[in-house]
A and B are shown apart, each in its own frame.
Chain A
Amino acid sequence: MSAILADTVAGLALTVVLLAALIVAIRARAIRRRRRTDPLRSSAERLVADFLVDQAALPTEAGPDERAALLVTSLEALADLRGSERARLGPPGLAALLRVARSDRPQVAELAEAAAQS
């Protein structure tokens, strides 16, 4: 019985150690990512706000982190736009906002095309 118990304990202990290592790795990665993206968030919010208020130009060249921050902010802004604000911006404006945020998404290209046709 002791041999089976020893095998069981070894198996359980190994899994526990692996899980603990996984938790530490996930947490370290999340903290690194947060440190990298948090400072970008406020500048993305400012850019989107400027764009929504007076159609200021959005940056066309942006790194993956900046684009990710812009995408999140743009999507939140789009969901918040209502009534006359949404009408004022119009489909081309919405498409432009999304295209800058994540220009490599095919759906955004389709939206931009549809907006141009309308």
Chain B
Amino acid sequence: MIFYLWFVLGFFIAFVVVHSGLLIVAAVELKRYAARSSPTALRRALRSPLAPAIAVVCPAYNEEAGIVDSVRALLALDYPKIEVIVVNDGSTDGTLARLTEVFDLRPVRRPTPPYLPHRPVRGVYAPRSRLPLLVIDKENGGKADGLNVGVNFTWCPLACAVDADSILEQDALAKAALPFIEDPERTLATAGMIRIVNGCTIDRGRVVEVHPPRSRWAMFQVVEYLRAFYAIRTGWAAIGALMIVSGAFGLFRCDAVIAAGGWRTDTVGEDFELVVRMHKMWRDARRPYRIVYVPDPVCWTEGPETARGLRSQRARWHRGCIEVLLMHRAMLMNPRYGTVGLIGLPAMLLFEVLGPVIELSGYGVTTAALLAGRLTAAGYLLFLAVAVLYGLLLTLGAIALEDASVSPRATWVDLRRVLLFALGEGLGYRQVLIPWRLLGVWQLIRRTKWQPMERKGFSAPPPVTVPQARQP
């Protein structure tokens, strides 16, 4: 019993050591990024004839509530060559009708290109105006299938995968595209920062004021996202082991996606899987490549505000993580795959997949040891204190990194709220998530189909029709 407690304590210490290392690497990387990025370089890149065209691919399934706002915001992004592709993934609500009404769509004839396999396309629509928008209506096949359709149909060399409920900051695409302009040969994908939009003031598909969410569930996610993006992903990218380019916002080279075979539809962790597969393929072929994390292109996404929504999301993420690790188990501890195989995937296995089991069993065994008289009450409380503090350390490190790298915008009240929730995360929230994450294992065994989150949408504007323009 005591031996197991030592093991759990060792797990906590290993977590702190690995993630403190990532924090330090992330701090160095953020400093380097701040030194080389400037508004001037960005503007120059935006006007450069070498700026590659980007297809913003937005798969939408039953997104009637927010799709119009999202598309408007995407069309208004600050980037010279852009095409917005909305893939209506067999929605059963009025997603397509709403798009048709607002953007005055008409059917166009487009043959289906053969590059990536996907579910049959039912129709392709374009606006009568000159808006760079294409709406593809297809049979339901999931988000991965929708992204494959987008990459298949676009003429652009880069494809940006975004969720229909996401809002990109004005210059997010330009910043994410910079690594492709600087090193077009080696750059396969860039990932950007994702933040929780709940609580922010949205005006016509743009975030105009940043506030912490009122919902407690969403507030905990603000803390989680800060840690995940500022500390963990920046750190992994700095050592060449970035394995997740979030499905909510990621920029990919289309030829690389096609060469890799596109997003897999038989896993719920398709974004994670594609990036791991790219690492594998490029390392197997011994071709130089890079998958870059750019810390300041911000994508705002709606986090679940109910326990039910959050449970479904975390179960899906956990299931996806296990699926990907099983699919690519040959890479684990394999020196052929460098930092990905030797550090990234083992850390994912230990901290993400086994972590909840170890932590949950740790609480059980500690309580049993206390009841059996093998552990003193002081020892029990100290053990719980370690469980609370190890996560808090990383979260505070991430907040410090954020404040040091970008000028803090939040007020003192907001900061106090973030710090309180960072503390509260270890005092209940993380423990609540453990069984929800383990639900993902059960769903994996049962092969349960996951239910998409219900969206509130950012606003509910009255239907507005875009003025009709002349036929192209």
Q: How many residues on chain A are close to B (CB under 8 Å)?
A: 27
How far apart are B359's CB and chain A's nearest CB, in angstroms?
Answer: 15
Q: Which residues of B contact A82 (CB under 8 A)?
A: 47
**CB < 8 Å: which of A1, A12, A79 contacts B2?**
A1
Q: How far is the CA of A16 from the CA of B16 in the complex (A)?
A: 12
In the bound complex, do residue A30 and residue B407 qualify as a contact, i.e. CB atoms below 8 Å apart?
Answer: yes
Binds B, one of A20-28, A50-58, A88-96, A105-113: A20-28
Is A8 within 8 A of B400, CB to CB?
A: no
Known: A5-B383, A5-B386, A23-B403. A16 touches B43 (CB 8 A): no
Stretch of B52-60, B161-169, B210-218, B374-382 lying at the A interface: B374-382
Q: Contacts A2-B376, A5-B379, A80-B43 known; A26 to B389 CB distance under 8 Å?
A: no
Contact of A76 among B39, B383, B403 (CB under 8 A): B39
Q: Is B13 an interface residue (CB 8 A)?
A: yes
Q: Is B390 an interface residue (CB 8 A)?
A: yes
Chain B residues lying within 8 Å of A19, measured Cβ to Cβ, are 393, 396-397, 399-400
Please report the C-alpha to C-alpha distance between residue A33 and residue B392 in the assembled complex, in whole angstroms. Answer: 28
Q: Please tell me if the beta carbons of A2 and B378 are within 8 angstroms of each other in the complex.
A: yes
Q: In the complex where A1-B379, A5-B383, A30-B403 touch, is A12 in contact with B419 (Cβ < 8 A)?
A: no
Nearest A residue to B392 by beta-carbon distance?
A: A16
A46 at the interface (CB under 8 A from B): no
Distance of A3 from chain B, by nearest CB (Å) = 9
Q: Which residue of B lies closest to A17 (CB)?
A: B396
Q: Is B415 an interface residue (CB 8 A)?
A: yes
Q: How far is the CB of A58 from chain B (nearest CB, A)?
A: 19
Judged by a CB distance under 8 angstroms, whether A62 is at the interface is no
Contact A9 B375 (CB under 8 A): no
Q: Does B33 contact A (CB under 8 A)?
A: no
Q: Which of B379, B389, B404, B408 contacts A16 (CB 8 A)?
A: B389
Give chain B nearest CB distance to A8 CB in angstroms.
5
Q: Is the CB of B393 within 8 A of A30?
A: no
Set of chain A residues within 8 Å of B403, measured between Cβ atoms = 23, 26-27, 30
Q: Are B415 and A12 in contact (CB under 8 A)?
A: no
**Nearest Cβ in chain B — how far from A97, in angstroms?**
13
Residues of A within 8 A of B392 (CB): 16
A114 within 8 Å of B (CB atoms): no
- Residues of B11-45 at the interface with A, using a CB-CB cut-off of 8 Å, are 12-13, 16, 38-40, 43-44
Is B400 a contact of A26 with CB atoms below 8 Å?
yes
A30 to B407, CA, bound (A): 6
A19 CA to B411 CA, complexed, in Å: 18
Inter-chain contacts of B407 with A (CB < 8 A): 30, 33-34
Task: Report how far A12 CA is from B384 CA in the complex, Å.
Answer: 12
**What residues of A have a CB within 8 angstroms of the CB of B404 in the complex?**
26
Q: Which residues of B contact A4 (CB under 8 A)?
A: 9
Given contacts A5-B9, A30-B407, contact A12 B400 (CB under 8 A): no
Docked-complex contact B389 and A23, CB < 8 angstroms: no
Q: Which residues of A contact B39 (CB under 8 A)?
A: 75-76, 79
Contact partner, B393, options A12, A78, A80, Cβ 8 Å: A12
Interface check B434, CB cutoff 8 A: no
Known contacts: A22-B400, A23-B399. The answer to whether A12 contacts B44 by CB under 8 A is no
Q: Is B427 close to A, CB under 8 A? A: no
Contact assessment for B16 and A12 in the assembled complex, using a CB-CB cutoff below 8 Å = yes
B382 touches A9 (CB 8 A): yes
Bound Cα distance A115, B399 (Å): 45
Question: Which residues of the other chain, B, contact A9 by a CB distance below 8 angstroms?
Answer: 382, 385-386, 389
A15 within 8 A of B: yes
CB-CB under 8 A from A79, the residues of chain B are 39-40, 43-44
Interface membership of B202, Cβ < 8 A: no
Tell me the bound Cα distance from A36 to B415 in angstroms. 21
Separation of A107 and B40 alpha carbons in the complex (Å):
16
- A27-B415 contact given A2-B376, A22-B400, A80-B43, CB 8 Å threshold: yes
B426 CB to closest chain A CB, in angstroms? 11
Residue A6 at the chain B interface, CB threshold 8 Å:
yes
A104–chain B nearest beta-carbon distance, Å: 18
* Chain A residues whose CB sits within 8 angstroms of the CB of B38 once the complex forms: 75
Chain A interfacial positions (CB closer than 8 Å to B):
1-2, 4-6, 8-9, 12-13, 15-16, 19-20, 22-23, 26-27, 30-31, 33-34, 75-76, 78-80, 82
30 A-B pairs in the complex with CB atoms less than 8 angstroms apart: A1-B2, A1-B5, A1-B375, A1-B379, A2-B378, A5-B9, A8-B9, A8-B12, A8-B13, A9-B386, A12-B390, A12-B393, A13-B385, A16-B393, A20-B396, A20-B419, A23-B396, A23-B415, A26-B400, A27-B403, A27-B412, A30-B403, A30-B407, A30-B408, A33-B407, A75-B38, A76-B39, A79-B40, A79-B43, A80-B43
Residues of chain B at the chain A interface (Cβ within 8 Å): 2, 5-6, 9, 12-13, 16, 38-40, 43-44, 47, 375-376, 378-379, 382-383, 385-386, 389-390, 392-393, 396-397, 399-400, 403-404, 407-408, 412, 415, 419
